[in-house]
Amino acid sequence: MTQPLSRRQTIQILSKHVRFILALPLAPFFSSCLQSPFAQSMTERPKGETMNQASSPGVLDPYRLPRHVVPIRYDLRLEPDLTSASFAGQETITVRVHRPTSDIVLNAIELDISSATIEGESGSARKAAIVLDGTLQRCHLTFTEPVTAGNWRLTIIFSGTLNDKLRGFYRSTYKDENGATHNMAATQFEATDARRAFPCWDEPDFKAVFATTLVIDPTLTAVSNSTIASETREGGKKAVCFADTMKMSTYLVAFIVGRIEPTEPTMVGQTPLRLWAVPGKEHLARFGQDIAAASLSFFEKYYGIPYPGDKLDLLAIPDFASGAMENLGAITYRETALLVDQQSATHGELERVADVVAHENAHMWFGDLVTMSWWNGLWLNEAFATFMEMMAVDAWKPEWKRWDSFGVSRAAAYSVDGLQSTRPIEYPVQAPKDADAMFDVLTYEKGASVLRMLEQHIGPTIFRDGVRDYLHAHAYGNADTNDLWVSLGKIAKQPVPELMNGWIFQPGFPLVTATVSSSSELTIRQQRFSYLSDEQSRPSPDQRWQIPLQMRVTASGKASTSRMLLTEKDTIVPLPHDWESILLNEGGHGFYRVRYAPDLLDRLLNDGIDRLAATERFNLISDAWATTVAGLMPLRDYLDLTARFTVERDKNVWAVLLDSFSFLNRIVTAKDRPALEAFVRGRVGRAVEDLGWAPRSGESEGTKQLRGELIGAQGKLGNDPAIQSRATELYQAYRQDAASVDPNVVPALVAILAHTGDVTRYDEFNACFLSASTPQEERRYLFSLAAFQPKALLTRTLTCTISGEIRTQDAPFLVSAILGSVYGRELAWAFVKTNWEKMDQLFPKQGLRRMCGGIVNLATPTLERDVREFFASRQIDLGGKTLEQYLEHLRIMVNVRERDGAVLRQYLKNFQ
Ligand SMILES: [Zn+2]
């Protein structure tokens, strides 16, 4: 799965807040309609009662199904009615019974099950008594006589509702060009919602073959995981029968029914690849199709295994809770993550589509072909797909320098992993809701960062060969984290588990402190990084990591690189007598922060920061800001340091600087805000002037993006009237001729005009949102409605979030954005408190969780107290450690305000 917003967008929303940084061709395909379930011959791992901890004798795990009955094949028939938002279903599950039993237990929830019968090879059917357990989401089938060991056919008849909660089998709606509303049906099953669509063994290691038939209105189209084997008429309906899938997990099954249209297929080897959208949006599919074809081909070569499905469809769904979902052969997306107009999109919007498409394609092998045994291994799926998405996009567009901007993702992971309430990447998962909370930056970004560190440490070719070994060894099956380390260790001939376990199974990450103890000895100390600076609250001082460290020492003008593995608390490194400067984490691939003793930092800066690579400058300023927030570097020193970056022209480095300024904007008093604005203008002004408003020939995509970011910052955070007035002129020109303004500048214009806008502008932008011609434009104008200052306008926006006018896939993020606005946060918080029950009932679970992320911006002692009281009194649980993390973030912001508020005020006096 992909998160609903891009990393960048997530960071922006999370941290208008946090930004402490800133802010084998293998299985054959059968014709499902013809095959006898007893002809099942695919190899499978026998699921005895010893398969997992859940079935250890005498231990009952309420979240794991018994293992004595195992599904082999599902023949599914579903008949969705889009008008009444309901569906009827019938399934025949071929099961293998390992020992005689009178009870069969499988998962089901929110389904009406009218009948269940079982039939053996002898043919006579036996009826089961059915009991549903809503709490454990199970269906118990009891037979009067034991079912003997062997293969059986279990037939269940059921019905359900196409819900509006964007999970299970759900309804999505859209308006056509004439304003008429149409319904469609789509699915989202990960982690545990297949059980909402059909009774099943809904755990990832119960892999089976799926043969689906969708019975639909003949005017509609149906897509599922495999190619269409046949289409027949049944009375007034059309029965679309899909070919057998490969053996796979329930969470990867998908059905999409509606008025949707495909592009012409691109052939990638033997695989036809198409994009699908609702009518009228097909012209936005070209870019997505190009990266889909390029990445599919890249992965076939990288993995050394052909794509495991028989076709690949990528479908844009108007209502979609996450970013995208890797259903084998039928990947579903929210529209902004797949459909894009190359002419009018910003570089960031194009990169987002490329990233998500490559990510989902990477999953076809890593996740779909080889699947985690249980949800504790989710990180491996997601971290790996995130890592591979970078590899594929970097290979496709090397000029984008994708690994450079990956630094921003790494820093996002640090911001959560620096909390005491962080968690290890992998941890035991029992309840499914704990798995839901795993879809976060620690799983995706920290996971991908440590994989990148390992890849750089053992070498890219060895890493790739280890991955190939792993995929070949576990194809069509399930595997655990250690299985990957075993494969990588075997190829690398190195103790990979020993190296990696510290990064995966313990929380947090190291801060590496460099001091020169004598003129020729460098001491490198590792300790766990923490934002909270009082000694008592510092976590486990003895925590250690095996840190692959790359260091560059300049002596007599010549630089030399050395590599080492830090395993102890302190490591002493001899230095040449004529050393001039030292840089740790050369290349920037290590997952640790660096703190230099003041004299070391001075030498590095005096050596010239322009001699550092962009990723090294990024790390330098990002680490400096993080240690400032942690109270390890004086705020005054950090603010002075930012003055050295007025000549900086790298967008990622600037992202750190701007995010730190946004952070200060959240803790500064209203009285001091004009001085902060003057400070920002002083830091940003030179670069804005230098870059101008229009691209120059030969300019990189990164520079174009930077221009937009800086103009936006100068107009909003800097509150620069000249910039605001020029933005107004340019926006008018843009409305008359969209081609007259570089697409990368347009979001800045919209944001500045909202920032300074009145009710007329609000109505105009609202109209633009409703009539937008691309998903990106729609999103831009929608989020602009959170960026106005007048309270009456922000109240209008908040009201829309629960009135049904805004899709529930977007509404919680809009609330979060207003929580992040210094002009709207009190208002938004009062709104959340008043309307909590309604939001809880209306918004998808993960949306609600993300919305609550906005509370970290309520950075005053009074608001913080109120936030804590509210969540405690309602006993709200957002899953995992999510709420604890938000509250700690908030504590840290308030802590900086209390600790450094006076210093900041004093410093800003020079800028009034
Ligand atoms: Zn994913």
Q: How far is the CA of 347 from the centre of ligand 1 (A)?
A: 22
Q: How far is the CA of 447 from the centre of ligand 1 (A)?
A: 12
Q: How far is the CA of 2 from the centre of ligand 1 (A)?
A: 5
Q: How far is the CA of 386 from the centre of ligand 1 (A)?
A: 7
- What is the distance between the alpha carbons of residues 551 and 717, in angstroms, rounded to a whole number? 37
Residue 175 structure tokens: 């308006």
Tell me the per-residue pLDDT of 566-608, one tens digit each, with 9 for 90 and over.
999 999 999 999 999 999 999 999 999 999 999 999 999 998 8
Q: What's the predicted TM-score (pTM) here?
A: 0.93
Q: How far is the CA of 366 from the centre of ligand 1 (A)?
A: 9
CA distance from start to end of the chain: 48
- % the chain with pLDDT above 70: 93
- What is the distance between the alpha carbons of residues 817 and 828, in angstroms, rounded to a whole number? 9
Task: Look at residue 108 in the predicted model and tell me its pLDDT.
Answer: 98
Q: How far is the CA of 380 from the centre of ligand 1 (A)?
A: 10
User: Computed from CA positions of residues 572, 492, 361, 251, in that sequence, does the dihedral angle turn out positive or negative?
Assistant: negative
Q: The tokens 């000549």 sit on which residue?
A: 647
Q: How far is the CA of 7 from the centre of ligand 1 (A)?
A: 13
Strand, coil or helix: what is 139? strand
Q: How far is the CA of 507 from the centre of ligand 1 (A)?
A: 22
Supply the DSSP string of 620-633, one letter for each residue: HHHHHHHHHHTTSS
- What is the distance between the alpha carbons of residues 324 and 4, in angstroms, rounded to a whole number? 8
CA separation, residue 536 to residues 372, 414, 420, 887 (Å): 38, 21, 12, 19
Task: Look at residue 348 in the predicted model and tell me its pLDDT.
Answer: 96
Q: The tokens 């896939």 sit on which residue?
A: 809
Residue 135 structure tokens: 């709490």
Q: The tokens 């910039």 sit on which residue?
A: 723
616 is catalytic: no
Out of 79, 326, 349, 360, the active site residue is: 360
Q: How far is the CA of 432 from the centre of ligand 1 (A)?
A: 17
Residue 325 structure tokens: 């979902």
Q: How far is the CA of 381 from the centre of ligand 1 (A)?
A: 7
Four-CA torsion 349, 351, 354, 356, nearest 10 degrees? -70
Q: How far is the CA of 635 from the centre of ligand 1 (A)?
A: 38
Q: Which residues on adjacent β-strands are paired with residue 558?
A: 555
Q: Which residues on adjacent β-strands are paired with residue 274?
A: 313
Q: How far is the CA of 561 from the centre of ligand 1 (A)?
A: 36
- What is the distance between the alpha carbons of residues 198 and 162, in angstroms, rounded to a whole number? 12
Task: Look at residue 40 in the predicted model and tell me its pLDDT.
Answer: 33
Q: How far is the CA of 117 from the centre of ligand 1 (A)?
A: 37
Q: How far is the CA of 407 from the centre of ligand 1 (A)?
A: 19
Task: Look at residue 540 in the predicted model and tell me its pLDDT.
Answer: 72
Task: Look at residue 628 in the predicted model and tell me its pLDDT.
Answer: 97
- What is the distance between the alpha carbons of residues 788 and 803, in angstroms, rounded to a whole number? 20
Helices (H), 804-881: 811-819, 825-842, 845-852, 861-874
Q: How far is the CA of 3 from the centre of ligand 1 (A)?
A: 8
Q: How far is the CA of 753 from the centre of ligand 1 (A)?
A: 36
In single-letter form, the type of residue at position 473 comes to A
Task: Look at residue 29 in the predicted model and tell me its pLDDT.
Answer: 30
Residue 628 makes CB contacts below 8 A (sequence gap 6+) with: 634, 635, 637, 638, 660
Cβ atoms of 226 and 242 within 8 Å: the answer is yes
Which positions of the chain have pLDDT values less than 70? 7-60, 432-433, 533-539
Q: How far is the CA of 192 from the centre of ligand 1 (A)?
A: 15
Structural element, H or E, at residue 760:
helix 759-770
- What is the distance between the alpha carbons of residues 195 and 200, in angstroms, rounded to a whole number? 6
